[in-house]
Structure 1
Amino acid sequence: MAKSVILHLESVSKQFSGTVTPAVQNVNLTLYQGDILGLLGPSGCGKTTLLRMIAGFEQPQSGIITINERVVAGLHDWMPPEKRDVGMVFQDYALFPHLTVAKNIAFGLHNSGKKSSTQINHQVTDALELVGLSGLESRYPHELSGGQQQRVALARALAPSPALVLLDEPLSNLDVQVRIRLRQELRDILKSAGASGIFVTHDQEEAMAISDQVAVMRSGRVEQFGTPEDIYTEPASHFVAEFVTQANFLPARRRGQVWETELGGFELTDNHLFCGKVDSLDEFDRIDLMIRQEDLILKHDEEGAVIIRDRQFLGREFRYCLQTESGKELIARTTPQVTLPIGIKVKVSIAEDNLRVFPAISGEHQTKSSQLVTIR
């Protein structure tokens, strides 16, 4: 059975007065019932502005926003936030310090229509049980941990059973270990409630862990939209590859049928090595090879051309900072079983099946034809 569309954005744009470029530019996306969408991108990319337009706190200058088959923003349409059937979890949680947990959760229910006290109490009890806070209804926000406050804010958003829940960097104020635990709890709670959700984050791992779909944003635009797996394995642009996969890029030059790099030569084919859709590798004289950090294989070799400049132990893996003869820095991640000291020379090989190719990003590396290629 096909899922129903819960949110649809068509050519949505927003530019603030006094700015040169739009904060959000021509965004199109669709979210289905029960799915969780992560808006991922660096600071200033427009993700929070987009969320606020969906919530109704900002008005788009062009485009159409539809929630649960109702147009809430368009050329001749505008619906205020309280009419959009949307729940909001703010970055600072925005809990009322003078109200108990139960009264914080009930606050939105008192304003959502004519309901009896018994109905409201039942909804508050259900929301507390959903987020695992039963028994804490009489506490005040200052008596709760940061993680508990976050769950109260989520319970308040979920209590009225909105069509859509919006979360603005909901885990950013928490300690790292608490964030890791709560991101799974957040996903579990939304799924248990059958809620559709959109959350803003600049944390790649967080977006991958929580989302069913990810929209990677850059300069107000959606650079790529897809599942976490698709975005990681098939990034659609240089930016997505760098920001999401934190990949290395290695310049390569054609020498007959071989592409030469500092780490050796590679025979590349159009079919399984090229990322995106282009006509042919024959259009290029120079390219950038995308190499994921986990695809670099290191072996101690005093004849090697790469030096281990630094090493970090991250528990489940080592992170090696490598320096090539030209001074280029590469990052490799290995299992803890691969232990190499700082300062030694290594031979670097690459898992070639996982290589991806992009047009060279620098102007000097591009041919005239390569500038016309569109990566989709």
Structure 2
Amino acid sequence: MTSERPSLALLRSMSDEAVLRVLLDTPRLTRAQLAVATGLSKPTAAEAIRRLEAAGLVRDTGERTTGRGGVGSYYALADAAGVALAVAIAPDGVVVEVVDPAGTVTDRVREDVRQPATPASVTALLRKAARRALGARPAGSVRVAVVSAADPVDRVSGDLVQLPDAPFLLGAMSPRAVLRPLFDGPVLVDNDVNWAALAERDARLAQGQQLRDFVYLYLGEGIGLAVVADGAVRRGHRGIAGEVAHVTVTGPGGTVLPLTELFAQLGLRRPGSIAIDVDRLLAALHRPDDDRTAAALIRAVRDLVTAAIAFCDPECVVLGGPWGTDQAVLDSLRRDLDGHPRGVPVERAVSTGEPSLSGARTAALAALRTDIVARIPA
């Protein structure tokens, strides 16, 4: 019985990948250092570098070692390895970042959104921000784009979906159609709450906590929910799972009404808009002389959370967003859920700042690195 030995082509490919992956994590290394880091012999590492140089993935930096011993050349990823775009489309603005293979944001452009936002106005802002961020870069340098959008996203087309009472755009738009003329790579689009949930997963992992089954509830100008099961976001058949704004909740006086209507009844919408007035809502939550509004809000959030617990069986419920992370909301919700037959911890999000963009940026970097490795010569 004879065992099959790996082919020479496979061995070369494995050596090339080992060298390339080390250079993805280290700015520059000599051939000797690459041999040590990969465990390859010096001649094998040198051959891998030569092949990667010929493929345009690695370059000689022109820098040389100093000191005793022979002079060594430093190698790094070539500029042709490419960059990724991380994009956030939100009610307050459109942000486009250029991310290099090391994960560094080399350029960032923001364009403010004027309300009321329309698909045409946001499309124009996205195109303008992307062009400004790319500058004089050749189209081929951008390998992938990842977009976070504050609207429902069709999982097949990547288009933003128009739903009744959407708090942001008043119609559908296509980020892919906007970005594709600027470069040839793939464009991945998903809802901002989904990206925020993945950023939360990664932030907790960095803290040594493996949170793989949880519900992420975003409470801000709009309301959204993401379900993470086995470490992955569950998007549903069309990709719009978690659009909970129309879930019926208990309103004032025990009435049952859609969640979106509750904010109208409580006078917590922005003038001429269906977006939640977060400043007014937070003021109501902390007003000591009238707790009726606060009680109605907490009761509605409790209805959402208990429904999510019943259907998703999460390890915990994470609250994010400008009023989801408010201590009064957390404390009140925990008291309301105390004694619930399926008690699940309710926790404040640890990924703050720009969690949706952070999640998109992480995905863009991972996709860029996968693309670079895939271009190793066969």
* TM over 0.5, shorter chain: no
The two structures have a TM-score, normalised by structure 2, of 0.28
The two structures have a TM-score, normalised by structure 1, of 0.28
Relative to its length, the structure with more strand (as a share) is 1
Relative to its length, the structure with more helix (as a share) is 2
